[in-house]
């Protein structure tokens, strides 16, 4: 029977961690012994990648009781330095330089530690500047830090397939995903699992990726050409069967949220279905948690390097068999540890080039785009709700203007990826483009009927919770990510929040005329939403009439289109404008005491609830009747 214990970061551990990046460990890390056999994995160009399947040996057998230590990072998203290039500022709890300090300390305690990265590693934070290199700096950093396992995340497939193949080959550890198959012969794209022999204990690590890559990358099928992505459950079931008799301890390294946003298998589902797991290290959700599910500890270390997920599995040999006696897990935060000097020195050139690129001047902003970023407090940091998701703003207007221009579309739709997105008066730099448009998305133009456009608008409006009598504030659906809330331009409409989802969009007009359900309109969307529309059955692949990547290659990314638009259409001058084509209706703004309650929220006397993960703000409306109680 496994025992789960939740451990808080102890004072002693904190004292050990702080400052340990200043000098190298006195102990030399012992390189693991490796038994090798050749595994052929197919490449895009029919040139097979020869991966080495390793049975990695760490330590020598002899003890009857062994503690197995696992450490994992996840969703590092291009962060080596503790720095956010989109705002050109230090980020104290981010970067491999921070996590490596934690890992070095953990290795001093247990040199046989297994180190894993759980994906979404090489995308974001100016990482694409280095995609042309034979080995991406993020992969080179993992090699320097002696990562044993790299689990591919969905964002690894944002780029050409040759890019990911090249980095798979150049990663010195094992690339592990059990649910990616080659379509041609149903063989594994990369290794489904990794075996370890740790002080005589046999350990297997299974890797998993979300199965939705074909939907998310629908606009660029060449990114995953020849591959298929399975639901995690059958892949894990098959892999465990294949591993029968080969492990004493089974560990999951899964790039999955606790529950899947589209109804597929999530990390908690795997814990429920497969009690064989002693520990599951998760990612993808950017959440911070340690939770016991079906007697298995599942944990995720946030994102960007906020923390390192650690797990200790204690085993004892009884009657010749290793029995799991205890499992403990925790997230070790990085905010207060020193950045590792070796990593900082090795990748200083990457940092300098990223900063230099971020500060290239593109034009000038004549006045601040959103004077009140937080809708209630008015502050630049959003703590209640972002103005940009409550009313039409100049930021979304700019993005939609750019998309309509290049796709030659009637209508455009865009989301806010960062709640604090804004442009301030002054120089307009490349880092500002990344700040208002976080992802390296491309632009698609699609033909869509008025009937399906309305369905799409209703799908988007599900982001809001239904207004109840007495509600003082509008709130967001905890189950819908902010990046899945699109705001439309080129069409006038109201969102009536007294109505249930699916019946909220009202008074829809285009060019002063009611929406024609039978007419075909030209709609501009990003490549991710292109996949969503297909998944919803609202368009087909042949409805595409424009693809910015096909037309312009890397210059066709929305960020680059914004730059081109500012320089060549706006002549380098950005002035905020909004057409206020949409509004939210149904909230009673005349409720007695409403202003007093808003003032209490503003002062922090009333706190608007967040999601359990802390990732989604404003998930419950403040209601005057609750305040009276």
**DSSP letter string over 295-362?**
TEEEEEE-STTSEEEEEEEEEEEETTEEEEEEEEEEEEE-TTSPPPHHHHHHTHHHHHHHHHHHT-EE
Q: Which pLDDT score is estimated for 544? A: 96
pLDDT tier, 14 (very low <50, low <70, confident <90, very high otherwise): very low
% of the chain residues with pLDDT over 90: 87
Q: Which pLDDT score is estimated for 40? A: 39
Q: Which pLDDT score is estimated for 554? A: 78
Q: Which pLDDT score is estimated for 627? A: 85
Is residue 34's pLDDT more than 80?
no
CB atoms near residue 572 (< 10 Å): 13
HSE at residue 23, side-chain half, CA atoms within 13 A, is 4
CB atoms near residue 39 (< 10 Å): 17
Give 314-317 contacts, CB < 8 A, sequence gap 24+: 314/65, 314/66, 314/67, 314/68, 315/65, 315/66, 315/67, 315/68, 315/201, 315/248, 315/249, 316/64, 316/65, 316/66, 317/64, 317/65
What is the reported pTM? Answer: 0.80
* Closest listed residue to residue 451, CA positions, set 521, 376, 347: 521
pLDDT tier, 550 (very low <50, low <70, confident <90, very high otherwise): confident
Q: Which pLDDT score is estimated for 352? A: 98
Query: What domains are defined for the chain?
Result: 4-19+39-352 (3.60.21.10), 362-628 (3.90.780.10)
- Both ends of the chain: CA-CA distance in Å? 46
Q: Which pLDDT score is estimated for 6? A: 41
More confident residue, 440 or 201: 201
pLDDT tier, 48 (very low <50, low <70, confident <90, very high otherwise): low
More confident residue, 219 or 291: 291
Query: Alpha-carbon Rg of the chain, whole angstroms?
Result: 25
From residue 332, give the alpha-carbon distance in Å to each of 14, 106, 336: 9, 10, 10
Q: Which pLDDT score is estimated for 246? A: 96
Task: Decide the pairing of beta strands 411-414 and 227-229.
Answer: unpaired
Mean pLDDT lowest for which of 21-30, 224-233, 561-570?
Answer: 21-30
* Residues 44-60, mean pLDDT to the nearest whole number: 74
Q: Which pLDDT score is estimated for 613? A: 75
* Residues 333-341, mean pLDDT to the nearest whole number: 97
CA distance 357 to 363: 15
CA distance 459 to 462: 6
Exposed/middle/buried for 371, CB within 10 Å: 0-12, 13-18, 19+? exposed
Q: Which pLDDT score is estimated for 614? A: 77
* Closest listed residue to residue 337, CA positions, set 362, 299, 307, 311: 307
Q: Which pLDDT score is estimated for 190? A: 95
pLDDT in tens, 492-549: 999 999 999 999 999 999 999 999 999 999 999 999 999 999 999 999 999 999 999 8
* Contact call for residues 210 and 235 (beta carbons, < 8 A): no
pLDDT tier, 13 (very low <50, low <70, confident <90, very high otherwise): very low
Is residue 183's pLDDT more than 70?
yes
pLDDT tier, 47 (very low <50, low <70, confident <90, very high otherwise): low
* Residues 107-133, mean pLDDT to the nearest whole number: 96
pLDDT tier, 51 (very low <50, low <70, confident <90, very high otherwise): low
pLDDT tier, 1 (very low <50, low <70, confident <90, very high otherwise): very low
Token pair for 528:
């991710």
More confident residue, 624 or 8: 624
Is residue 239's pLDDT more than 90?
yes
CA distance 68 to 276: 16
Degrees, nearest 5: CA angle 482-487-491: 165
* Closest listed residue to residue 126, CA positions, set 169, 173, 86, 174: 86
pLDDT tier, 629 (very low <50, low <70, confident <90, very high otherwise): low
CA distance 157 to 282: 19
CA distance 161 to 221: 10
Instruction: Point out which residues pair with 299 in neighbouring strands.
Output: 281, 290
pLDDT tier, 16 (very low <50, low <70, confident <90, very high otherwise): very low
CB atoms near residue 512 (< 10 Å): 6
* Residues 209-222, mean pLDDT to the nearest whole number: 93
Is residue 201's pLDDT more than 90?
yes
CB atoms near residue 261 (< 10 Å): 15
Q: Which pLDDT score is estimated for 616? A: 86
* Residues 124-129, mean pLDDT to the nearest whole number: 94
Q: Which pLDDT score is estimated for 39? A: 38
């Amino acid at each position: 029977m496994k025992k789960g214990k939740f451990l808080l970061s102890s004072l002693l551990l904190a004292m050990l961690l702080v400052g340990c990046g200043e000098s190298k460990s006195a102990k030399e890390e012992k390189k693991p012994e490796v038994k090798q056999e050749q595994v052929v994995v197919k490449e895009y160009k029919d040139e097979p990648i020869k991966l080495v399947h390793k049975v990695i040996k760490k330590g020598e057998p002899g003890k009857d009781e062994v503690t197995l230590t696992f450490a994992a990072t996840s969703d590092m998203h291009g962060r080596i330095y503790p720095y956010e290039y989109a705002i050109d500022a230090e980020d104290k709890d981010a970067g491999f330089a921070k996590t490596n300090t934690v890992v070095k300390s953990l290795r001093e305690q247990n040199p046989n530690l297994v180190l894993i990265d759980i994906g979404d590693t090489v995308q974001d934070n100016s990482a694409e500047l280095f995609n042309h290199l034979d080995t991406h700096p993020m992969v080179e950093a993992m090699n320097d830090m002696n990562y044993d396992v790299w689990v591919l995340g969905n964002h690894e497939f944002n780029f050409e397939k040759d890019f990911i193949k090249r980095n798979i080959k150049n990663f010195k550890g094992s690339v592990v995903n059990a649910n990616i198959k080659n379509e041609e012969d149903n063989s594994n794209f990369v290794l489904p699992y990794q075996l370890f022999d740790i002080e005589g204990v046999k350990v297997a690590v299974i890797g998993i990726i979300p199965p939705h890559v074909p939907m998310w990358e629908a606009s660029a099928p060449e990114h995953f050409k020849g591959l298929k992505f399975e639901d995690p459950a059958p892949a894990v079931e098959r892999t465990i069967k294949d591993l029968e008799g080969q492990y004493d301890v089974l560990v999951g390294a899964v790039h999955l949220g606790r529950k899947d946003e589209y109804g597929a298998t999530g990390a908690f589902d795997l814990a429920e279905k497969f009690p064989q797991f002693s520990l599951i290290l998760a990612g993808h959700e950017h959440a911070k948690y340690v939770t016991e599910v079906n007697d298995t500890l599942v944990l995720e270390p946030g994102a960007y390097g906020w923390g390192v997920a650690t797990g200790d599995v204690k085993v004892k040999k009884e009657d010749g068999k290793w029995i799991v006696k205890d499992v403990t897990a925790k997230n070790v935060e990085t905010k207060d540890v020193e950045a590792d000097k070796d990593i900082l020195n090795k990748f200083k050139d990457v940092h300098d080039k990223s900063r230099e690129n971020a500060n290239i001047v593109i034009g000038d902003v004549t006045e601040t785009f959103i004077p009140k970023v937080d809708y209630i407090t008015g502050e630049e940091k959003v703590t209640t709700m972002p103005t940009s998701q409550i009313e039409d703003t100049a930021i979304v207007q700019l993005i939609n203007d750019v998309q309509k221009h290049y796709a030659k579309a009637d209508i455009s739709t865009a989301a806010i990826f960062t709640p604090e997105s804004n442009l301030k008066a002054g120089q307009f730099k490349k880092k500002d483009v990344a700040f208002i448009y976080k992802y390296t998305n491309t632009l698609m133009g699609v033909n869509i009927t008025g009937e399906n456009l309305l369905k799409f608008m209703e799908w988007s409006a599900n982001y809001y919770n239904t207004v109840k009598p007495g509600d003082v504030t509008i709130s967001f659906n905890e189950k819908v990510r902010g990046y899945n809330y699109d705001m439309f331009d080129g069409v006038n409409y109201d969102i009536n929040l007294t109505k249930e989802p699916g019946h909220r969009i009202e008074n829809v007009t285009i060019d002063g005329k009611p929406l024609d359900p039978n007419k075909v309109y030209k709609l501009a969307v990003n490549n991710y939403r292109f996949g969503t529309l297909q998944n919803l059955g609202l368009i087909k692949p042949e409805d595409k009439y424009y693809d910015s990547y096909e037309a312009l290659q890397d210059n066709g990314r929305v960020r680059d289109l914004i730059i081109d638009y500012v320089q060549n259409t706006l002549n380098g001058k950005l002035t905020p404008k909004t057409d206020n084509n949409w509004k939210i209706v149904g909230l009673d703004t005349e409720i007695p005491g409403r202003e007093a309650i808003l003032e209490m929220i503003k002062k922090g006397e009333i706190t608007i609830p967040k999601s359990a993960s802390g990732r989604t703000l404003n998930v419950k409306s403040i209601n005057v009747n609750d305040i009276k109680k």
